[in-house]
Copies of this chain bind each other. A is one copy, B any other.
Amino acid sequence: MNILELAIQNLTSPPVLAFALGLLATAIKADLRLPEAVYQGLSFYLLIGIGIKGGVALRDAEFSEIALPIVGTIALGMLIPFLAFSILGPLTKLPAYERGALAAHYGSTSLVTFTAAIVFLETAQTFVEGYMATLLAVLEIPGIIVGLLLASKGMSRSVNFRESLVEVLTGKSIVLLAGGLLLGAVTGSAGYSQVEPFFGGLFTGVLTLFLLELGLIAGKRIGDLKKAGIRLVIFGVGFPVIAATLGITVGLLTGLSVGGATVLGVLSAASSYIAAPAAVRLALPEASPGIYLTASLAITFPFNLIIGIPLYSVIAEALAGMGL
């Protein structure tokens, strides 16, 4: 299968189509929202499920094999938000708190984009290291913290900033992901086989429903695109490519396979729309969701889903071919 065929297959996978369906439903004003409780149940399932799978893979990996990629991922988690913050200054002229909020989103990453990349590479029969979900968990947090710190620099904050950080770190998405990792690492493949039909077999189906809901939410944000302006769109499409290239390079240098490096590229390019918005909401209330959520969910997320993933796999091939 060539890259175009893969891209089309990616585009026509049920989760991506469900996202499109959600956009469409918003356009015709159809109300397809799942009850709030069910929506929260689905995201609970996805977070702990991906954590468990990552933990199982982590346990099966050699320490010597994963040490370097983990260090590289932490470095990316601190570098990418800096980069985003710096580029946003001259590009958009937004105040520091808005740029910090955006940096927190692009410094963190997205479980759903990650999963789409895994499915994509599986279809392409490219080998991917099993412990990539561990790197997902590792990349989730530092970017948020760096982004918030960048935003708070030079602000005379009345709200307790540390309090917010604690709230973020003990929030649902971090604790479920980390808890799942722990659980998976302790139970190993033997234990996992007992719950595989639930956490494994159903995953893509649940993801499909979840993406339908994300599509509905993103659809409502599309109206904000005009307000957000062309410069934000440029950032939302251009920055992921830069971040992906960085991530792929770090991946190859720390010994990942081409498939693994592609995934690290995707993780770097992906922006958060679950953990980061909640964190920014708590710690940076002055920042506007009309900017950060629109950029993350209505620009970068579909871009990565549709164009980014196949593109980054081509970049990874090319860089690897250059002997990196």
Contacts and interface: CB of A to CB of B under 8 A. Distances in A.
Contact of A28 (B170, B187, B199): B170
Interface string A31-74: 11011111011001100100010000000000000000000000
Nearest to A24: B179
A197 B191 contact: no
Given A175-B25, A183-B18, A187-B13, A204 B208 contact: no
A66 to B, nearest CB: 21
A35 B25 contact: no
A79 interface: no
A206 interface: yes
Interface in A195-230: 195, 197-199, 201-202, 204-206, 208-209, 212
Interface residues of A, number: 53
A128 interface: no
11 contacts: A9-B190, A13-B187, A14-B187, A14-B195, A31-B172, A34-B41, A36-B37, A37-B38, A194-B204, A197-B201, A198-B202
A165 interface: no
A14 B194 contact: yes
Contacts of A29: 170
Interface in A123-179: 170-172, 175-176, 179
B35 A40 contact: yes
A322 interface: no
Contacts of A198: 201-202, 204-206, 208
Q: Is the interface of A mostly helix, strand, loop or mixed?
A: helix
| Oligomer copy total | 3
Contacts of A24: 179
Contacts of A209: 44-45, 48
Interface string A1-41: 00000000100111001100100110011111011111011
A289 interface: no
A287 B18 CA distance: 37
A40 B30 contact: no
A302 interface: no
Contacts of A41: 34-35, 38, 41
Given A35-B41, A44-B34, A197 B187 contact: no
Contacts of A37: 35-38
A25 B186 contact: no
B25 A179 contact: yes
Contacts of A179: 21, 24-25, 32
A204 B187 CA distance: 14
A119 interface: yes
A187 B211 CA distance: 15
Contact of A194 (B13, B28, B36, B186): B13
Given A14-B195, A31-B171, A195-B205, 10 more contacts: A9-B191, A12-B186, A12-B191, A17-B183, A28-B170, A36-B37, A37-B38, A38-B38, A194-B205, A198-B202
